[in-house]
C-alpha cells in the first residue's frame, strides 16, 4: 500500500523466487481476435474502496474504447507481494507485458526489458522530471519509467515549538540541536524523531548523508558510503543528538518510522523527517504542524531524498508496438493527475507537476514538489543496492549509540557494496 512504499523501503529487487502456478499466456489473442496486454501493478490503497485496481480497470476500459482490438488484462497485488509475484512470473517464463512495481534493475541487467526510447513517444519521454528519470537508467540507458514519486521535508509540531520558545524552523544542524534542547527542557518526550530501525534506516541514513554534503554515490555512480562527509554526519548524530538525549527514550537503532509517525500524531514528537503521507495522518489527529526543507550542516540541505516507484515493459511477448502507445496513454497529464491526486503522491512528469502546482487543492504538496526537482534517489540502477540496503538496515543503528564507530561501520558497508557491485558487474 501507499504507506509502505513511501516510507522509503527499498524493494528487495526482483530476485529469485519459487515458480508461480501456471499462468495464462500474456500478449495472446483472445476471443474475437483481440490482442491482450497484461499489466501487473501494485496496490496503493489500504482497503477495497480505494484499491488501485479501480483506477487501472477504469483506465484500461477507457483505452480499449479508443483502441479497438486491444485488451488490457489487469492484476493488482499488495506491496507485500507484488515484487515477488512479478519475479515468479518471469522465472516461470510468463512475464507480464508491463509491471508497475518497486525495482527494475535486476530485470534490466538480465536484458529482459525494453529501453524507454523503444517504447515511448518523444514528447512522453521528454516530459519526465529529469532528476527522477535519471534514476531509471542503467549504463545511461533508461529502462525504469518512473510512475509516482515522493520527497522529504522536516515536519514540526507548532504547538510544541511555541511551548518551548522555538520561534523559527531550524535551517542548520546547530539550529536543529538548539530547538531540540529547548523542546526537551519544555518536557517534550521526543524532541527529534530519529528512526534508524530496519523499517526506514536506508532512507533516514540517506537524508542525513545528503544534509551533510555526502550521499550513497558520487556523480559517476560509484559508492561513497564511507566518505568523510558521511562519517562526519553520523559522528554529529551520535554526539550532538543521541548523545545529548534529544531523540527520546527509545533506542533510535531499533525505532521504526511508523512508530514515530504515530507518536507525532499523538503530540509526543517535536520534529522529524517525513513524506506526504504524514500530512493526512497528522491532520486526522488534529495536529497543528508545519513543514520546512531539511536542515543541513551549515544551512538548508542542498538536496533531499526522493523515492520513486517504477513502470517497466518486458520483451518476452514481443509486444513493443502495443505497449508503447498504451504507456503514452498512461502518462497523459490528466491520467497522471488522477492517480497522484487520489493517493496524495507526486507526479513524475513536468506537465502534471505544473498542473498540480497551479491547483490550490493540492497546496499542501507544493513544498514537496519544489524539493522533488533537485531530489536525490536511491541507487536503484544498481543490482547490488538490494544487498547494500539490507546491510544498512542491520548495521547503521549501532553507529549512533554510545561508543558507536561510524567510520568502521560505514567502511564495512562500503566494502560489501564494492564487492557486490564488482560481482554483479
Cβ-contact 278, 269 below 8 angstroms:
no
pTM of the entire predicted model: 0.83
DSSP codes joined into one string, 398-417: GGGSTT--HHHHHHHHHHHH
d(CA 308, CA 276): 13
8 sits in the region (left: phi over 0; alpha: psi -120 to 50; else beta) called: left
Query: Given this model, what pLDDT does residue 21 score?
Result: 34
Query: Given this model, what pLDDT does residue 33 score?
Result: 62
As averages over each run of 10 residues, the pLDDT of the chain (425 residues) reads 44 37 42 82 87 96 96 94 94 97 91 97 95 89 95 97 98 98 98 93 96 95 97 98 96 94 97 92 94 96 92 97 98 97 92 95 92 89 88 95 96 96 73
Q: Which of these, 269, 273, 271, lies nearest to 294 by C-alpha position?
A: 273
Cβ-contact 348, 149 below 8 angstroms:
yes
C-alpha cell at 71: 485488451
The total number of residues written for the chain in this structure: 425
CA 155 to chain centre: 18
d(CA 50, CA 55): 9
C-alpha cell at 273: 523527517
152 contacts: CB under 8 Å, gap ≥ 6: 203, 207, 273, 274, 275, 294, 304, 305, 306, 371
- Which residues is 238 bridged to in the sheet? none
d(CA 302, CA 112): 36
d(CA 281, CA 34): 44
Q: Which residue has the cell 525495482?
A: 103
C-alpha cell at 21: 502456478
Cβ-contact 270, 183 below 8 angstroms:
yes
Query: Given this model, what pLDDT does residue 10 score?
Result: 40
d(CA 153, CA 368): 7
Query: Given this model, what pLDDT does residue 424 score?
Result: 64
Amino acid at each position: 500500500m501507499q504507506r509502505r512504499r513511501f516510507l522509503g523501503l527499498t524493494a528487495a529487487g526482483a530476485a529469485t523466487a519459487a515458480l508461480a502456478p501456471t499462468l495464462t499466456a500474456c500478449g495472446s489473442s483472445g476471443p474475437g481476435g483481440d490482442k491482450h496486454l497484461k499489466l501487473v501493478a501494485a496496490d496503493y490503497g489500504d482497503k477495497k474502496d480505494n484499491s488501485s485496481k479501480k483506477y487501472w480497470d477504469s483506465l484500461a476500459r477507457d483505452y480499449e474504447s479508443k483502441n479497438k482490438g486491444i485488451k488490457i488484462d489487469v492484476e493488482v497485488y499488495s506491496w507485500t507481494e507484488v515484487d515477488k509475484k512479478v519475479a515468479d512470473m518471469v522465472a516461470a517464463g510468463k512475464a507480464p507485458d508491463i509491471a508497475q512495481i518497486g525495482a527494475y534493475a535486476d530485470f534490466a541487467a538480465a536484458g529482459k526489458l525494453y529501453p524507454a526510447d523503444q517504447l515511448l513517444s518523444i514528447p512522453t519521454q521528454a516530459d519526465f522530471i529529469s532528476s527522477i528519470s535519471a534514476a531509471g537508467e542503467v549504463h545511461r540507458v533508461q529502462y525504469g519509467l518512473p510512475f509516482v514519486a515522493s520527497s522529504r521535508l522536516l515536519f514540526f509540531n507548532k504547538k510544541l515549538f511555541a511551548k518551548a520558545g522555538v520561534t523559527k524552523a531550524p535551517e542548520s544542524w546547530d539550529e536543529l540541536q538548539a530547538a531540540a534542547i529547548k523542546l526537551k527542557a519544555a518536557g517534550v518526550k521526543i524532541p527529534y524523531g530519529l528512526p534508524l530501525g530496519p523499517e526506514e534506516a536506508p532512507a533516514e541514513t540517506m537524508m542525513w548523508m545528503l544534509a551533510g554534503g555526502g550521499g550513497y554515490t558520487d556523480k559517476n555512480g560509484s559508492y561513497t558510503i564511507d566518505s568523510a562527509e558521511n562519517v562526519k554526519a553520523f559522528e554529529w548524530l551520535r554526539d550532538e543528538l543521541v548523545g545529548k538525549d534529544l531523540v527520546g527514550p527509545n533506542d533510535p537503532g531499533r525505532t521504526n518510522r511508523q512508530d514515530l509517525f504515530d507518536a507525532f500524531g499523538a503530540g509526543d514528537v517535536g520534529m522529524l523527517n517525513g513524506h506526504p503521507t504524514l500530512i493526512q495522518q497528522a491532520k486526522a489527529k488534529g495536529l497543528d504542524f508545519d513543514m520546512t526543507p531539511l536542515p543541513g550542516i551549515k544551512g538548508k540541505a542542498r538536496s533531499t531524498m526522493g523515492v520513486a516507484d517504477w513502470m517497466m515493459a518486458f520483451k518476452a511477448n514481443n509486444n513493443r508496438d502495443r505497449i508503447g502507445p498504451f504507456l503514452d496513454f498512461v502518462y497523459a497529464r490528466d491520467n497522471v493527475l488522477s492517480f497522484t491526486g487520489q493517493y496524495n503522491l507526486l507526479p513524475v512528469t513536468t506537465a502534471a507537476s505544473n498542473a498540480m502546482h497551479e491547483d490550490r487543492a493540492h497546496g499542501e504538496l507544493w513544498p514537496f514538489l519544489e524539493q522533488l526537482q533537485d531530489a536525490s534517489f536511491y541507487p536503484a540502477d544498481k543490482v547490488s543496492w538490494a544487498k547494500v540496503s539490507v546491510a544498512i538496515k542491520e548495521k547503521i543503528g549501532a553507529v549512533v549509540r554510545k561508543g558507536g564507530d561510524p567510520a568502521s561501520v560505514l567502511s564495512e558497508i562500503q566494502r560489501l557494496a564494492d564487492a557486490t557491485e564488482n560481482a554483479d558487474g
